[in-house]
Amino acid sequence: MRDFTTYMDIALAEARLAAERGETPVGAVIVANGEVLAQNGNRTRELSDPTAHAEILVIREACAALGSERLPDADLYVTLEPCPMCAMAISSARIARVYYGAADPKSGGVEQGPRIFSHKQCHHKPEVYGGINEAESGDILRAFFEARR
């Protein structure tokens, strides 16, 4: 039986692969009933697609695999606090639980700024757990941006 730190390890591996591709290093995994449905990292540059954040890619992939626009049995693991776009996509997909790593004061949309899940215009609020392996997630991001300076 794998636990949530193991799934976050998969997300962290995807973040490292994203860094190797020159993408902002964020990785995500979707899990349902103990099975990984999708795992991916940020690909906005590679795909010339500003919506190709790790969370959006795994949501689209898991939904396509199940033939459903809703994933009520699924949990999402992501190495960084989701931005407002991704938070709303998580809600629309009816994902049950979100586990994230580092908080993102600059661009986050869950615990700060627009706090997407806190408004009545948000029709599904997942359970949210932050700070999972946050030091490792933050280290990957810091190393990436320091190397590019």
Catalog residues that contact a second copy under the rule CB under 8 A.
Answer: 44-45, 47-51, 56, 59-60, 63-64, 66-70, 83-89, 92-93, 105-109, 112-116, 119-123
Out of 55, 61, 111, 134, the active site residue is 55
Smallest separation (angstroms) from a second copy to the CB of 133: 23
Smallest separation (angstroms) from a second copy to the CB of 32: 15
Burial class (CB in 10 A: 0-12, 13-18, 19+), 122: middle
Q: Which is nearer to a second copy, 10 or 88 (CB)?
A: 88
Distance of alpha carbon 82 from alpha carbon 104, whole angstroms: 8
Smallest separation (angstroms) from a second copy to the CB of 9: 26
Q: Which is nearer to a second copy, 2 or 70 (CB)?
A: 70
Q: Which is nearer to a second copy, 13 or 103 (CB)?
A: 103
Distance of alpha carbon 45 from alpha carbon 100, whole angstroms: 23
Distance of alpha carbon 139 from alpha carbon 123, whole angstroms: 34
Q: Nearest 5°: CA angle at 28, between 22 and 30?
A: 150
* Structure tokens belonging to residue 50: 């500003």
Q: Is 55 a catalytic residue?
A: yes
List active site positions: 55
